[in-house]
């Protein structure tokens, strides 16, 4: 599991591999120069303590020093030698820092670009997931995955790829140098690493589960925020501010106490590793001092350098030992991201390969049944919409009308039976091809935060000219109010179309459909009553929209049902009556009852 996750992550790193190579190479060079700057202290200290400049025991370190600074060490002129060594030291540190900077910038680029790619990939994938995915997941949870989980996963790239490599490079170079100075002392120093990692294992397990819960809690918090902001009208009208505040504070506190709990566990690793580190230092001091003073097997200056390097080594070692803790958090996020990326998209699920370019004869439902879970929502639905027909669906709320129309563009697929378009099972038609024939005007008119023009030409498969957009707007009775807006067609519509009235929004939605001009139309008529004038304008626009199209409409208006070719009365997912308006009224059955409840209060031109 962990390995598979890594492989997926690496696929995001691959396009930036040159940057990674640069980061690694520069950190290696920086670490080497860093180690070298320490060795340079040996001749310096020796000069200071009036000892021979280079260690007497030989070894590769002395040879290295002899070949690099040997020429500048003049035994007869100690001050000059000191000055030379200092200059060398300064130069080395300068170049080292240049490489540290290069390593830093290239790893910063690496992690930001990887995060960006990941965020884009999650969003791209998300858009292509089937509708069912979105009804299962809360919006806040989705937002949290796209934005904060990708950000958290960045730590995995930072911690495990860049930091770990940099610190490992430092540790390796230091350890080599330390071995050069004294292998005995180095072996003792090396005991610290396994001790630290082993002692931290139980902590890591707890961190992993803890962080996963934490990510879910952060998603919960965003859900509450998103729900209350988008439903602010409802919140205010019900005076539910206090209730929502309680909900948010509840989620927020749960999140922060989770964070504190995790921090408490994560911070234990620091004192533990430091204590162990100090223990090792004490041992080295003891053994080293004996080597210098009793056995003279080590120069004082070399021991000093050894000690300071060991102390400095603790920083990257500590960093390395904390990486697993950081990684736990990032792994929890990465899992949430890959959960989205692994979900099958509509395209992947699409078994259809046929292309359709036009609609010629009929849409036919043949014994279609459907259930979301176990309960059947639609049972044995059969009807035919010939080209040019208007099929009106009526029935009480929850009868299955929206579910039925969702089957046509294959938002969901029937659990039994089939739907044919010009004789072809729609499952055999490529999804994109099928949807290009279908227009949807829904009750919940979404207006995007963009200009009027772009709202009308939303998501068009081709670009439309101003005259075409205007013609659509005119036909939708929208041109009039659009020209009265401050910047006409260029006026930016506010968040969720707040600046338009309900009727205006409906007319924009109708203009959108008129522009694309799909042969098949799914219409979900708005239930909310408009004032008479607005209602007349919308009705006119709807009539123009229906002209020459094959329509399946969830009907709420009298004029729609009156002119429908066939009315299907749905109850609990079954068609219980069917026929034209006048025939159904004459039957005095379910339709008659519905009619008296739903349509009666409208102006009634037909005597009952």
Question: Cβ closer to ligand ADP: 227 or 524?
Answer: 524
Q: Could you please report the per-residue DSSP string of 526-559?
A: --S---HHHHHHHHHHHHHHHTTSEEEEE--SHH
Alpha carbon 277 to chain centroid, angstroms: 40
Shortest spacing between CB 389 and ligand ADP, in angstroms = 20
Shortest spacing between CB 575 and ligand ADP, in angstroms = 12
3-state secondary structure of 378: strand
3-state secondary structure of 362: strand
Question: Cβ closer to ligand ADP: 374 or 532?
Answer: 374
Shortest spacing between CB 422 and ligand ADP, in angstroms = 26
Question: Cβ closer to ligand ADP: 154 or 401?
Answer: 401
Would the CA dihedral through 88, 91, 97, 103 be positive or negative? Answer: negative
3-state secondary structure of 363: strand
Question: Cβ closer to ligand ADP: 507 or 556?
Answer: 556
If 0-12 CB within 10 Å is exposed, 13-18 middle and 19+ buried, where does residue 286 land? exposed
Question: Cβ closer to ligand ADP: 330 or 394?
Answer: 394
Q: Which residues bind ligand ADP (CB under 6 A)?
A: 135, 372, 377, 395, 397-403
Shortest spacing between CB 136 and ligand ADP, in angstroms = 8
Question: Cβ closer to ligand ADP: 185 or 377?
Answer: 377
Shortest spacing between CB 397 and ligand ADP, in angstroms = 4
Shortest spacing between CB 10 and ligand ADP, in angstroms = 36
Question: Cβ closer to ligand ADP: 243 or 372?
Answer: 372
Return the number of other C-beta atoms located less than 10 Å from residue 80's C-beta. Answer: 12
Whether residue 564 contacts residue 392, with contact meaning beta carbons closer than 8 Å, is answered with yes
Specify which residues 553 forms β-bridges with. Answer: 392, 523
Shortest spacing between CB 416 and ligand ADP, in angstroms = 16
Shortest spacing between CB 407 and ligand ADP, in angstroms = 10
CA pair distance 279, 199, nearest whole angstrom: 14
CA pair distance 590, 578, nearest whole angstrom: 10
The alpha-carbon radius of gyration of the chain (Å, integer) is 37
Shortest spacing between CB 400 and ligand ADP, in angstroms = 4
Question: Cβ closer to ligand ADP: 41 or 385?
Answer: 385
Please name which of 457, 412, 415 lies closest in space to residue 431, comparing C-alpha atoms.
Answer: 412
Question: Cβ closer to ligand ADP: 277 or 409?
Answer: 409
Specify which residues 182 forms β-bridges with. Answer: none
Please name which of 232, 258, 260 lies closest in space to residue 245, comparing C-alpha atoms.
Answer: 232
CA pair distance 182, 187, nearest whole angstrom: 9
Helix (H) or strand (E) holding 596: helix 590-598
Helix (H) or strand (E) holding 191: none
């Amino acid at each position: 599991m962990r390995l598979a996750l890594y492989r997926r992550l690496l696929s995001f790193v691959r396009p930036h591999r040159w940057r990674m190579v640069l980061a690694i190479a520069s950190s290696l060079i920086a670490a080497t120069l860093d180690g070298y700057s320490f060795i340079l202290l040996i001749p310096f200290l020796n000069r200071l303590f009036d000892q021979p400049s280079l260690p007497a025991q030989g070894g590769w370190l002395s040879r290295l020093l002899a070949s690099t600074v040997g020429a500048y060490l003049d035994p007869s002129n100690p001050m000059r030698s000191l000055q030379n060594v200092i200059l060398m030291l300064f130069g080395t540190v300068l170049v080292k820092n240049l490489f540290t900077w290069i390593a830093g910038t290239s790893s910063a680029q690496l992690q930001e670009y990887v995060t960006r790619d990941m965020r884009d990939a999650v969003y791209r994938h998300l858009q292509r997931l089937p509708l069912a995915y979105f009804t299962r997941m809360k919006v806040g949870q989705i937002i949290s995955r796209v934005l904060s989980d990708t950000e958290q996963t960045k730590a995995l790239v930072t911690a495990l790829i860049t930091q770990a490599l940099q610190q490992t490079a430092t540790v390796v170079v230091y350890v080599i140098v330390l071995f050069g100075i004294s292998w005995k002392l180095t072996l003792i120093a090396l005991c610290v690493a396994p001790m630290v990692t082993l002692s931290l294992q139980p902590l890591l397990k707890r961190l992993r589960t803890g962080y996963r819960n934490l990510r879910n809690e952060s998603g919960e918090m965003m859900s509450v925020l998103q729900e209350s902001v988008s439903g602010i009208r409802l919140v205010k009208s019900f005076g539910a501010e206090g209730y929502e505040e309680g909900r948010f504070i509840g989620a927020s506190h749960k999140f922060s106490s989770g964070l504190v709990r995790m921090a408490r566990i994560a911070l234990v690793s620091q004192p533990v590793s430091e204590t162990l580190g100090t223990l090792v230092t004490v041992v080295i001091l003891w053994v080293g001092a004996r080597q210098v003073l009793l056995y003279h097997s080590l120069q004082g200056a070399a021991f000093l350098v050894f000690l300071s390097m060991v102390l400095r080594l603790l920083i990257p070692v500590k960093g390395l030992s904390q990486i697993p803790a950081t990684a736990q958090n990032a792994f929890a996020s990465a899992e949430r991201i890959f959960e989205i990326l692994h979900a099958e998209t509509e395209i992947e699920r699409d078994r259809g390969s046929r292309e359709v370019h036009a609609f010629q004869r009929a849409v036919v439902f043949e014994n279609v049944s459907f259930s979301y879970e176990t309960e059947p929502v639609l049972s044995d639905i059969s009807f035919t919409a010939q080209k040019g027909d208007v099929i009106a669906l009526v029935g009480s709320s929850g009868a299955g009308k929206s579910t039925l129309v969702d089957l046509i563009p294959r938002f969901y697929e029937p659990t039994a039976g089939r739907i044919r378009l010009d004789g072809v099972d729609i499952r055999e038609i490529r999804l994109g091809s099928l949807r290009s024939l279908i227009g949807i005007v829904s009750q919940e008119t979404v207006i995007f935060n963009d200009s009027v023009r772009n709202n009308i030409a939303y998501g068009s498969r081709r670009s439309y000219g101003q005259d075409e957009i205007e013609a659509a707007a005119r036909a939708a009775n929208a041109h009039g109010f659009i020209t009265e807006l401050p910047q006409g067609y260029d006026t930016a519509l506010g968040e969720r179309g707040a600046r338009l009235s309900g009727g205006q929004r409906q007319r924009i939605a109708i203009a959108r459909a008129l522009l694309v001009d799909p042969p098949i139309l799914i219409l979900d008529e708005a239930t909310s009553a408009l004032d008479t004038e607005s209602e007349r304008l919308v009705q006119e626009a709807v009539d123009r929209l229906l002209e020459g199209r094959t329509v399946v409409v969830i009907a709420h208006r009298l004029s729609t049902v009156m002119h429908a070719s066939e009315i299907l009365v749905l109850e609990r997912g079954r068609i219980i009556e069917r026929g034209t308006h006048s025939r159904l009224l004459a039957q005095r059955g379910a339709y008659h009852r519905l009619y008296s409840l739903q349509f009666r209060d409208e102006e009634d031109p037909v005597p009952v």
